[in-house]
Amino acid sequence: MMETMLRTQILLLCLLLLGFCYAATTWKPLFGGSGATLSLRLYHLFILFTTIMLVTDLLGWLFDGVEGRFVHGLLLAIHTIYYAVHSLPTICYILYAELLLYQNPQRLRRWKLPLMALSSLLALGSIASGITGWFFSVDAQNVYSRGTWFIGYAVVQLLLLGASLIPLIGAARKSTARTYWTLVFFPVIAFAGGLLQSLVYGLVLIWPVTTVFLVAAALNIQKNQIGIDHLTGISNRLWFDEMLGHSFHQQQRFGCILMDLDGFKQINDTLGHDAGDLALQEMARILRRVAGPKDTVARYGGDEFAILMHEASEYHLQELVSRIELEVAMSNQASKRGYLLSVSMGYALYDSTHFSDAMTFMAHIDASMYAHKRSKLGNRL
């Protein structure tokens, strides 16, 4: 009885935490959540499938050994759902980690066929187990027991958890340390918990561990959302200033490019604010394509953008400026919009002998940017 109460309390606490995770990443008035990006949808699916696992785990434990024909059918349905859905949280994690680290939805295609095939086979085996007893069985007294193929099923789940490490290999430099080590936490701890839970029936480890990961991920999402410009999806001025201050504090060798869209007011006045928003979004996409994985790309304010280059050199700084100009030109050639994108840029490499603080550094770049604009527009701003 005491074991049942403890297990119930743990699983109910996990469900409450998952409710917080969903609310913290969804409710705009309370938490400032952003729109439903692909990574956020995967995160919410992760929450959904983990919730299903917690509920079925709890119900299966509470009704185990309870007499009644209705209970027998209910237990078969509960355990079928439990075994069929078991792999889906891990699959969501793999896709979520892949997208979060590499920011490239096209990379998800390589996972699509094997993960769909695996989850379909496990679901079919789970449905058949109600009759065959492959993965589980429920006897005449409504007592659950593991099936003849349970060990094979558990090995597949552990191998899937092992495969969830694949997106992390060589990806430490593609994200912040906070995000990377949060992602590492799930497969490592979940593998250990899953192994113990497979060997000792009655342990409740893997789903509380999964819940802890989802809470940590929710906190990361919230921190990132605070620093996101919701129109363009890139960092905002708040996050840029924080990263700039961090670079100054660390005395890193860094550079910065500040740019302003030429003729943006005319786009808004002649084509409307929707066209202006699309111009800002297109510019943000260009900057994300050309920037390095460690660079901070931000909407600096209005129609101004900035890229903070960490560990930069004069050569890399000038090379990035050239790539931005090339990408803007290519975008103009490929687009059928009623205007041309054009940017004026100022840039500089940080030198402690010339710049005493962030304000003087950015003021220098701002002056350089407007000098470039005047040279392009013939002193007409």
Q: What is the dihedral of CA 168, 117, 210, 39, to 10 degrees?
A: 60
Q: What is the reported pLDDT for 225?
A: 61
Q: What is the reported pLDDT for 32?
A: 40
What is the per-residue pLDDT across 161-175, written as a single tens digit (0 to 9) for each?
999 999 998 887 666
What pTM was computed for the model? 0.65
* 179 touches 97 (CB < 8 A): no
Concatenate the DSSP letters of all residues of 297-357 into one string.
EEEEETTEEEEEETT--HHHHHHHHHHHHHHHHHHHHH--SSS---EEEEEEE--TTT-SS
Residue 136, strand partner residues: 146
109-132 vs 69-85: helix crossing angle, rounded to 10: 160
Total count of residues recorded for the chain:
381
Concatenate the DSSP letters of all residues of 179-238 into one string.
HHHHHHHHHHHHHHHHHHHHHSTT---HHHHHHHHHHHHHHHHHHHHHTB-TTTSSB-HH
Nearest Cα neighbor of 37 from 102, 90, 87, 103 is 103
150-163 vs 109-132: helix crossing angle, rounded to 10: 160
Q: What is the reported pLDDT for 175?
A: 66
Q: Which CATH number fits domain 237-377: 3.40.50.11930, 3.30.70.270, 3.40.50.300, 2.30.130.10?
A: 3.30.70.270
Q: What is the reported pLDDT for 305?
A: 96
* Residues whose CB is less than 8 angstroms from the CB of residue 94 and which lie 6 or more positions away in sequence, other chains included: 111, 115, 163, 164, 166, 167
Q: What is the reported pLDDT for 337?
A: 79
* Residues whose CB is less than 8 angstroms from the CB of residue 34 and which lie 6 or more positions away in sequence, other chains included: 40, 225, 228, 230, 233
Domain chopping of the chain, boundaries: 2-226, 237-377
Matching residue, tokens 């975008």: 331
Q: What is the reported pLDDT for 172?
A: 77
* Strand ranges in 104-152 using DSSP code E only, listed in sequence order: 136-138, 144-146
Per CATH, domain 2-226 is 1.10.1060.10: no
Residues of the chain under the 70 pLDDT cut: 1-2, 27-36, 173-176, 202-203, 221-226, 251-252, 378-381
